[in-house]
Amino acid sequence: MPELPEVETVRRGLAPALIGAQLVFVDQRRPDLRFPFPENFVARLTGRRVEALGRRAKYLLADLDDAQVLVMHLGMSGSFRIEDESAAPRGDLGPFKRKDTAHDHVEFRLSTGKRIIYNDPRRFGFMQIIPRKTLFEHPLFRNVGIEPLGNELDGAALARLFAGKAAPLKAALLDQTLIAGLGNIYVSEALHRAGLSPRRAAGSLARKDGKPTERAHVLARVIRDVLEEAVAAGGSSLRDHRQADGALGYFQHSFRVYDREGAACPRAGCGGTVKRVVQSGRASFFCGSCQR
| 122 catalytically annotated | no
CB closer to Zn ion out of 9 and 291: 291
Give the nearest distance from C-beta 197 to Zn ion in angstroms: 11
Give 125's contacts (C-beta < 8 A, 6+ positions apart): 33, 34, 72, 73, 74, 75, 76, 77, 78, 118
x/- letters, 223..242, toward Zn ion (CB under 5 A): --------------------
Give the nearest distance from C-beta 118 to Zn ion in angstroms: 41
274 phi and psi angles, rounded to 5 deg: -75, 125
Q: Which of 60, 59, 51, 58 is nearest to 21 (CA)?
A: 51
Q: Which residue in the list 2, 5, 198, 212 is annotated as catalytic?
A: 2
CB closer to Zn ion out of 38 and 272: 272
Give the three-state DSSP class for 254: helix
Sign of torsion, CA 147 152 153 159? Answer: negative
The conformational region for residue 131 under phi > 0 = left, psi -120 to 50 = alpha, else beta, is: beta
Q: Answer yes or no: are the C-beta atoms of 236 and 185 closer than 8 Å.
A: yes
Q: Which residue in the list 55, 56, 58, 215 is annotated as catalytic?
A: 58
Binding to Zn ion by residue 33, rule CB under 5 A? no
Of 272, 273, 277, 279, the residue at the interface with Zn ion (CB under 5 A) is 272
Binding to Zn ion by residue 289, rule CB under 5 A? yes
Sign of torsion, CA 174 210 149 286? Answer: negative
The residue count for the chain: 292
CB closer to Zn ion out of 165 and 256: 256
| 58 catalytically annotated | yes
Total residues at interface with Zn ion (CB under 5 A): 7
- Other CB atoms within 10 Å distance of the CB of residue 276: 15
Rounded to 10°, the helix 214-232/184-194 angle is 130
Of 200, 267, 275, 282, the residue at the interface with Zn ion (CB under 5 A) is 267
Q: Answer yes or no: are the C-beta atoms of 123 and 33 closer than 8 Å.
A: yes
CB closer to Zn ion out of 185 and 287: 287
Of the ranges 106-114, 132-140, 211-219, 261-269, which one interacts with Zn ion (CB under 5 A)? 261-269
Of 118, 251, 265, 284, the residue at the interface with Zn ion (CB under 5 A) is 265
Binding to Zn ion by residue 263, rule CB under 5 A? no
Round to whole Å and give the CA distance between 179 and 261: 26
Q: Which residue in the list 44, 123, 199, 282 is annotated as catalytic?
A: 282
Of the ranges 87-95, 125-133, 139-147, 265-273, which one interacts with Zn ion (CB under 5 A)? 265-273
| 189 catalytically annotated | no
Binding to Zn ion by residue 167, rule CB under 5 A? no
| 282 catalytically annotated | yes
Write out the residues near Zn ion by the rule CB under 5 A.
265, 267, 270, 272, 287, 289-290
Residues tagged active-site: 2-3, 58, 282
